């Protein structure tokens, strides 16, 4: 049974950047539903219960049952992507990258501001629903991309890239507060992103 990541903060702790009603709805409804639907799909296909979600993504294209593949892609993506999203938010985190992650950002993008510009562009230009990502490969090289719907870099690269930061640009992530102003939401998100958590994920992928 896969579980939603436990929040280390309260639903109203990210105010005013992310409002309480958006957090409650996002975590308790949207994320909870993806997780329940994924667990239901796994329950019907017990051979999957031995595999990690990452492993399921990496081998997704080998699944011949199209309905199952779609369920794993949409609900598995929804489960995994939101676990990443919620675990990198914090009311009192490190607001800028430091140390080896900052060095790699400077080497791959120029500066933290250059990275933000790339991320914001990927997030703002993703048409419809989807995500913008900062990912790393096992050598530690970083890349920025975006995906439609609940896809992610693990699915798209078959495990070559692992996301360490995901910006949810589905309207459910921001519409209650920001309405159509997606870029205002993205800019506000930097005030609640915890770069210590992102660095922990980065170092974990690099060491794997």
Footprint of Mn ion on this chain (CB under 5 A)? 168, 170, 173
Tokens of 88: 């990198």
* Total residues found in the chain within this entry: 208
Tokens of 98: 């430091």
Min CB(201)–Mn ion separation in Å: 18
Backbone torsions φ then ψ of 131, nearest 5 degrees:
-140, 150
130: left (phi over 0), alpha (psi -120 to 50) or beta: left
Min CB(26)–Mn ion separation in Å: 6
Min CB(181)–Mn ion separation in Å: 17
In the block, tokens 């992103």 appear at 193
Min CB(81)–Mn ion separation in Å: 7
- Nearest residue to Mn ion by CB is 168
Angle between helices 32-44 and 77-87 (to 10 degrees): 140
Whichever of 85 and 202 has its CB closer to Mn ion, that residue is 85
Interatomic CA distance for residues 121 and 115, integer angstroms: 10
Min CB(129)–Mn ion separation in Å: 9
Tokens of 120: 């914001």
Are 171 and 127 a contacting pair, CB within 8 Å?
Answer: no
Whichever of 101 and 123 has its CB closer to Mn ion, that residue is 123
Whichever of 75 and 104 has its CB closer to Mn ion, that residue is 75
Whichever of 83 and 90 has its CB closer to Mn ion, that residue is 83
Interatomic CA distance for residues 194 and 48, integer angstroms: 32
Whichever of 29 and 103 has its CB closer to Mn ion, that residue is 29
């Amino acid at each position: 049974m896969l579980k939603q990541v436990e929040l280390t903060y309260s639903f109203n702790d990210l105010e005013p950047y992310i409002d309480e009603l958006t957090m409650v709805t996002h975590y308790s409804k949207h994320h909870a539903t993806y997780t329940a639907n994924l667990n239901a799909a796994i329950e019907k296909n017990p051979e999957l219960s031995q595999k990690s979600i990452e492993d399921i993504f990496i081998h997704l294209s080998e699944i011949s049952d199209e309905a199952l593949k779609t369920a794993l892609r949409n609900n598995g993506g929804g489960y995994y992507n939101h676990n990443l999203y919620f675990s990198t938010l914090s009311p009192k985190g490190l607001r800028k990258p430091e140390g080896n992650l900052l060095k790699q950002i400077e080497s791959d993008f120029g500066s933290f501001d250059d990275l933000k510009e790339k991320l914001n562009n990927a997030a703002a230009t993703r048409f419809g629903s989807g995500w913008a990502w900062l990912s790393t490969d096992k050598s530690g090289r970083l890349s920025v991309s975006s995906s439609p719907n609940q896809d992610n870099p693990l699915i798209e690269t078959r495990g070559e890239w692992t996301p360490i930061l995901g910006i949810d640009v589905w309207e459910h992530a921001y519409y209650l507060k920001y309405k159509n102003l997606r870029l205002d939401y993205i800019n506000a998100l930097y005030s609640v992103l915890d770069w210590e958590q992102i660095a922990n994920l980065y170092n974990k992928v690099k060491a794997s």
